[in-house]
Structure formats: structure tokens, C-alpha cells
């Protein structure tokens, strides 16, 4: 009879510990970002409505501030950054490819296109300009075909994401077009942006504001005239509603009905380069929210305690300014890789085992054990 209450108490303690371990699965919230600010740090911008965002230093990988950085959200065309990290190093820039109907099969209805024509030959470099400037899904599909097909490219992208430690990304389409089960996170998009800056060709393409794209074949067989394409990243090119951001390097913007507006933006000022990712603002402009976060990041230089780090730590961006990036006819070298590692320790991030929640669970178990020993001693006195 003595053993029954002991067993019940031990089981209760074990259940408390097990419940705690389940509770600290990825996605648990940590303190809000402004609790990590040092006394001299500027306040975070007001009115930020994005579901998820990250501000990080491209050189050190330090995450300066974030909101729900590991929230799984549709990435839209910002996923093309992972596509470029995966495929760009494999294809020489001057390689010519004649487009066949199969290359454009499966292109999503209503997806953005640069104007690739069946039967026309394009250089790989032109196709990449179509990807980065016009977010051309048609250019993505042609490059994917050159890489062995869409399904192989999706598999390659998943492998590349794993190499970078991008645990919040699941690829279902190479161009970011909405697909069931596809998602990424502000943290992972910042990873992709930082890795991209380590590749001179990537840095050059993503920072190009205006380029010429070759025309397709006319009905009489003549090649049409080239036409100008402009980067759709408004912080880079500027519009009547959005002023260009000083020192912007670029990277990639996106939009779908499901994802809303998404953006990866990098800017250089002095000896510092920042990366900002913004996903699905609920009010206002994705560009203005990114602008306010970039302004905050530069003003917070050396005044904040990092709340996490982009992984892998071994990535060292060799090209932090587009003036130093010059794509060549040869395939660009692949950025340094490291084994998959964990994420940040900020809002929505993964927590370590000995978090306060775990310590409380251990304490509860110890209390249960002490209670069991007391009960056993009391029974023995009877």
C-alpha cells in the first residue's frame, strides 16, 4: 500500500516534466525585442505591422532585433533567392540555351514573367537578370530545366536550405509561386540574403536597377529588338510613392495573394551592411517598414546586444557592396557551407533545453520526489 502513493506522485512529476518539454517546442515566444536594447539604443520603430521581421548585420551575422523570426509564412518571390543560391553556381553566365515548350511547362497562372519566348536562345546571364529584376517565373523555369528539371531543382533547393541551417523553409515550387505546404521565415530569408552577398554574381544581379533583355522571335523568324527591364524593388529604383534608400544593395521583393508583400533588403553605410527581412505587413508599405528598420539598425550601431545570430557562422560575405561584384562567364564559386545548426534565441525562436520553463519543470519534479519521500517516511512511522 505504501508504494501506490509514491508511484502516483512520481508519475505526476514525470507528466509535468513531459508537458514542459512539449511546450518548449520551436515557436515559443521570448521577450519582445525592445527588452534587449542597451540604455543608449534607439527605440524600435513604431507602427510596424509585419507578421514577421528580422534586422541583422551581414558581416557578423548578429540578429539585432526581430519579431516572430521563425514563423512559417508563404515567401512569394523572395524564395527565388534560395533558387539562385542553388542554381547560379552551376551554370556559366555565357552559356546559351534555346527554350523549348517543356521548359515553360507548369508555370503558374498569373505568375510574373520577363517575356521569355519559346524557340529563342538566351544567355544564362540574361535569364538571371530576368529573375532578379522582373521576378520572371518564366526565366526561373528555363533555368530549372537547365538544372535537370523542376523536381530535381526543388530537391536541390531543399538540400541547399538544409546546408544553410534554414530549418523553417519547405520548398514546393522553385519560383515562390503559392503552393500547398510551401513556407519560409524571416530568419531563413535573412540567411539566404546573407549567403547571397558572399557570391559576387548574386550581389551584382540583385543590385542591378535597369538592364536590357533580348527580344523573342518574331512571326517571320527575325529576332525581336531588346527591351528595357527595371527592377521591381522600389527601395532600389524608387517610384513616385517610394524614395530609393541610400546605399541599398537590393536583393529581392515578392508578392502573392496568399503571402502578401515580402522583402529581403540589404543596405551598406560606412563600414556596415545590414539585412532586413519583412513578411506580410498588415497595414502600410513593406518598403516603408523595411526603411524604418534599416534606419533603426544603422542608428543602433554598437548600441544593442544581439538577440541571436544567423547561421552558419562560417559564411563570410566577401562582397558587401555592388561596386565590387562583377559576374563573369564562369560559374560563380559557391559560398562556404557549414553543417546545419540552430536558429536565434529571440521571439518565436527555438529555446535551449534549460530555459526557465524547463527549470520550473525540473523543480516541480523535485517537489514531487520530496513529497513522495515524506509520505514514505510518514507511512513507515505508523
Q: Are 121 and 98 in contact (CB under 8 A)?
A: yes
Annotated catalytic residue 77: yes
Half-sphere exposure of 104 (CA within 13 A, CB side): 18
Catalytic residue among 52, 66, 80, 185: 80
Q: DSSP string spanning 302-363?
A: TTB---EE-S-TT---S--SGGG----SSPPPPPP--------SSTT----TTSHHHHHHHH
| 355 belongs to the catalytic site | no
Closest to 262 (Cα-Cα) out of 62, 79, 67, 84: 79
Number of Cβ within 10 Å of residue 68's Cβ equals 22
CB 365 within 8 A of CB 13: yes
| Sheet containing 308-309: order of strands | 248-256, 260-269, 272-281, 50-57, 62-67, 308-309
Whole-number Å distance between alpha carbons of 101 and 96: 16
Q: Which of 232, 97, 280, 103 is nearest to 174 (CA)?
A: 103
Residue among 77, 112, 185, 292 flagged as catalytic: 77
| Catalytic hit among 135, 173, 207, 372 | 135
Find out whether 69 and 54 touch, Cβ atoms under 8 Å.
yes
Q: Is 303 a catalytic residue?
A: no
Active site residues: 77, 80, 135
Amino acid at each position: 500500500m505504501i508504494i501506490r502513493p509514491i508511484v502516483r506522485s512520481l508519475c505526476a512529476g514525470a507528466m509535468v516534466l513531459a508537458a514542459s518539454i512539449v511546450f518548449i517546442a520551436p515557436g515559443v515566444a521570448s521577450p519582445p525585442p525592445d527588452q534587449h536594447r542597451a540604455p543608449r539604443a534607439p527605440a524600435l520603430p513604431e507602427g510596424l505591422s509585419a507578421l514577421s521581421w528580422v534586422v541583422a548585420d551581414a558581416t557578423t551575422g548578429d540578429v539585432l532585433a526581430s519579431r516572430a523570426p521563425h514563423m512559417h509564412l508563404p515567401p512569394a518571390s523572395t524564395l527565388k533567392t534560395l533558387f539562385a543560391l542553388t542554381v547560379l553556381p552551376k551554370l556559366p553566365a555565357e552559356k546559351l540555351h534555346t527554350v523549348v515548350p517543356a521548359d515553360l511547362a507548369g508555370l503558374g497562372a498569373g505568375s510574373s514573367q520577363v517575356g521569355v519566348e519559346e524557340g529563342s536562345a538566351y544567355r544564362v546571364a540574361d535569364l538571371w537578370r530576368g529573375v532578379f529584376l522582373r521576378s520572371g517565373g518564366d526565366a526561373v523555369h528555363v533555368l530549372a530545366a537547365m538544372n535537370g528539371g523542376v523536381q530535381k531543382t526543388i530537391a536541390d533547393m531543399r538540400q541547399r536550405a538544409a546546408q544553410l541551417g534554414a530549418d523553417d523553409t519547405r520548398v514546393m515550387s522553385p519560383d515562390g509561386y503559392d503552393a500547398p505546404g510551401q513556407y519560409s521565415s524571416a530568419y531563413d530569408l535573412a540567411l539566404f540574403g546573407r549567403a547571397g552577398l558572399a557570391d559576387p554574381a548574386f550581389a551584382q544581379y540583385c543590385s542591378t536597377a535597369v538592364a536590357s533583355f533580348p527580344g523573342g522571335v518574331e512571326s517571320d523568324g527575325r529576332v525581336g529588338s531588346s527591351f528595357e527591364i527595371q527592377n521591381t524593388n522600389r527601395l532600389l529604383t524608387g517610384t513616385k510613392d517610394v524614395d530609393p534608400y541610400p546605399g541599398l544593395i537590393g536583393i529581392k521583393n515578392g508578392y502573392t495573394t496568399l503571402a502578401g508583400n515580402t522583402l529581403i533588403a540589404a543596405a551598406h553605410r560606412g563600414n556596415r551592411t545590414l539585412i532586413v527581412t519583412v513578411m506580410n505587413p498588415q497595414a502600410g508599405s513593406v518598403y516603408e517598414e523595411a526603411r524604418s528598420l534599416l534606419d533603426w539598425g544603422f542608428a543602433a550601431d554598437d548600441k544593442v546586444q544581439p538577440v541571436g545570430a544567423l547561421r552558419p557562422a562560417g559564411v563570410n560575405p566577401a562582397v558587401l557592396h555592388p561596386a565590387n561584384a562583377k559576374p563573369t562567364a564562369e560559374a560563380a564559386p559557391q559560398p562556404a557551407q557549414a553543417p546545419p545548426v540552430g536558429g536565434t534565441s529571440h521571439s518565436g525562436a527555438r529555446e535551449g533545453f534549460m530555459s526557465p520553463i524547463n527549470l520550473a519543470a525540473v523543480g516541480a519534479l523535485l517537489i514531487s520526489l520530496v513529497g513522495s519521500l515524506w509520505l514514505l517516511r510518514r507511512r513507515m512511522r505508523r
